Amino acid sequence: MKLFADLHVHSRFAQGTSDQLDLANLEKWGRVKGLGLVGTGDFTHPKWIAELKANLTQDDTGLPKTKSGFPFCLQTEISLVYTQDGKGRRIHQVVLAPSFEVVDQITEYLLTKGRVDYDGRPIFKIPSPEFVERLRGISKDIEVIPAHIWTPWFGMLGSKSGFDTVQDCFKDQTRHIHAIETGLSSDPKMNWRLSQLDPYRIVSFSDLHSFWPWRIGREATVFDIAPTYKDLIKAIRTGDGLSGTIEFWPEEGKYHYDGHRACGVCMAPSDSMKARKICPKCGREMTIGVAYRVEELADREEGFRHAGARPYHNLIPLSELIAGATGQAVTTKRVWAFYNDLIKAFRNEFAVLLDASQEELAKATDPKLAGLIIRNREQKIPFKPGYDGVYGEPVFDSSLKVEETLTQPKHVQKGLEEFW
């Protein structure tokens, strides 16, 4: 049985997050999305860990559960800012833990280095090799995964990180790094171009700051395992039971192309190379995106696929598809009406996006929207790429737009309370 997992999330105690980002909403919208496992996020924050302990029950699976039996994986993200070899380094690390007892020990260690109460993603002046070594000293079942490895800031191979290889970052602890997170602005095929990344499992998670279905599970990893922490870590470390990933379109990520947001300048790598990375409007250096950085470090041609590569799907979230089809914002009643009808018909969003046939979809919703869902599945929707903190935008074919004159879906709800 497939297990869809989103193991990089945040709570309402992290900066820039929804004030309603709690366990109840993570569970509810995780179920609506089709997730079978969600990270807790932010387990070092004192108020959040108190909520986790009060509302989750540990058992022998290592994945604590809510009263209704939904499993969570104890998880956080840590920001490391330090100096190495005379250069400033900034990197985010995703951390998975097997129990509340281990979480408490991680927090005790971090408290010797600074505070944990001001942000769900705290910052520490700890070099990455030391960080991994100290966490493994607490428990060898702790897993450290470099987060969104290509983003310019705080990504291991990003243009501002100062690292060109995994070895540069983790030194003698590299042998304890088993997986890399693609991030929103890259997907597996971009990572396959670097032979140095072949030994690592590719995982994808949402890094969500709100629980809405266009955020939670927008990236996820698909496992074929029993729902236990032991089997989860085995799959991440060996690949046994790791089936593939769900990916945001890289072009939709905020740092795919190069550019300068203040000037409205966006460039493909070939053009920014000609411009020597300089904004043609203001003369300042542009933010160099993921596509450029991959070209800098790649030792293989575009399109290479290595023997151990897992399958993946680039998917636009269903809410965004409906918004594109109706010409309305994702939060409008019209978009929610179409969304709710599809969830009622197929139980969850991944079932709609990946499994339902066009004939089944056309019976449950407008035929034009059904066609757009299939085009999404077949990777046939082009994009205007994102750059310098600006999200990219899908370009929807006007012939597939749902007309205002068409009948509204039958079940207009404020939410899915009755269904769930």
Q: Which domains occur in the chain, in start order?
A: 3-252 (3.20.20.140), 317-383+395-400 (no CATH)
Q: Count CA atoms closer than 13 A to 417's CA, side-chain side.
A: 3
Structural contact between residues 169 and 192, judged by C-beta atoms closer than 8 angstroms: no
So what's the pLDDT on residue 235? 98
CA 70 to chain centre: 20
Best CA proximity match to 93, nearest among 210, 1, 173: 173
CA 290, 203, 219, 90 torsion-angle sign: negative
Cα–Cα distance measured from residue 102 to residue 104, given in angstroms and rounded to the nearest whole number:
5
Give kind and range of the element (H or E) at residue 28: helix 23-33
Q: Of the candidates 152, 172, 195, 208, which has an alpha carbon nearest to the alpha carbon of residue 38?
A: 208
Ranges of the chain whose pLDDT falls below 50: 405-420
Tell me, yes or no, if the pTM score tops 0.75.
yes
Looking at this protein, which amino acid is placed at residue 134? R
Query: Given this model, what pLDDT does residue 1 score?
Result: 75
Read off the tokens for 260: 């300068």
pLDDT for the residue 403? 60
How far is it, in rounded angstroms, from Cα 80 to Cα 408? Answer: 50
First to last CA, the chain: 22
As to burial, measured by CB atoms within 10 angstroms (0-12 exposed, 13-18 middle, 19+ buried), residue 374 is middle
Quickly count: other Cβ atoms within 10 Å of residue 73's Cβ: 25
Distances (CA, A) of 11 to 25, 41, 51, 219: 10, 6, 11, 17
Closest CA to 7 of 90, 68, 93, 91: 93
Q: Which residue has the tokens 């004192």?
A: 46
Q: Containing H/E element for 170?
A: helix 166-170
pLDDT of residue 399: 64
What six digits make up the tokens of 130?
């030391």
pLDDT at 401: 66
Calculate helix-pair angle for 333-346, 318-326, nearest 10 degrees.
Answer: 130
d(CA 349, CA 339): 9
